[in-house]
Structure 1
Amino acid sequence: MATLHSAPRFTQIDGLKDTLGGALGAHLLDVHEEHGELLFTVKRESIEDVLRILRDDHKYQQLMEIAGVDYPSRAERFEVVYMLLSLTTNNRIMVKCSASEDTLVPTATTLWPNAGWLEREVFDMYGVLFAGNTDLRRILTDYGFEGHPFRKDFPLTGYHELRYSEDEKRVVYEPVELAQDLRQFDFMSPWEGADYVLPGDEKADVPPVDEPKTTETPKDTGAGKKTDEHAADKVSAGAPAEEDGGENAPAPEPTEDQPARAEREGKTTDTAEATEPDTPDNDAGGPAPAAGKRKS
Structure 2
Amino acid sequence: MSWPQTSDHMEMLGQAIVANSAGAIVGHSVAYGELTLTAPLPRIVDALTYLRDHKDYQFQQLIDLCGVDYPERVRRFDVVYHLLSLTQNHRVRLKIETDEDTPVPTVTGVYPCADWFEREAFDMYGIFFEGHPDLRRILTDYGFHGHPLRKDFPMTGYVELRYDDELKRVVYEPVKSVEYRNWDFLSPWEGADYVLPGDEKVEAK
TM-score range relative to shorter protein: 0.7 to 0.9
Shift of 1:83: 0.3
Q: Deviations over 1:194-250 (max 9, x none)?
A: 9xxxxxxxxxxxxxxxxxxxxxxxxxxxxxxxxxxxxxxxxxxxxxxxxxxxxxxxx
Contact in 1 for aligned 2:3/2:10 (Cα 8 Å): no
The alignment status of 1:24 with 2:21, answered yes or no, reads: yes
Number of residue equivalences: 188
Q: 1:151 to 1:193 in 2, by over 3 A?
A: farther
Bigger Cα Rg: 1
Q: Distance in 2 between matches of 1:119 and 1:63?
A: 12
Q: Distance in 2 between matches of 1:16 and 1:75?
A: 31
Match of 2:42 among 24, 45, 48: 45
Q: 1:183 to 1:45 in 2, by over 3 A?
A: closer
- Which position in structure 2 is the counterpart of 1:255? none
Q: 1:192 to 1:41 in 2, by over 3 A?
A: farther
Shift of 1:186: 3.2
Local SS of the residue matching 2:22? helix
Residues 86-235 of structure 1: pairs in structure 2 closer than 5 A: 86-178=85-177, 186-187=196-197, 188-189=199-200, 191=202, 193=204
Q: Deviations over 1:152-177 (max 9, x none)?
A: 11111100111111111111111113
Unaligned runs of 5+ in 1: 1-6, 195-296
TM-score by length of 1: 0.59
Local SS of the residue matching 1:164? strand
Shift of 1:16: 0.8
Aligned-residue CA RMSD in angstroms?
2.5
Q: Which has the higher contact order (CA 8 A, sep 6+)?
A: 2
Structure with more of its chain in strand, by fraction: 2
Q: Distance in 2 between matches of 1:47 and 1:74?
A: 20
Contact in 2 for aligned 1:120/1:136 (Cα 8 Å): yes
Local SS of the residue matching 2:23? helix
Shift of 1:75: 0.9
Shift of 1:89: 1.4
TM-score by length of 2: 0.83
Local SS of the residue matching 1:15? helix
Local SS of the residue matching 1:27? coil
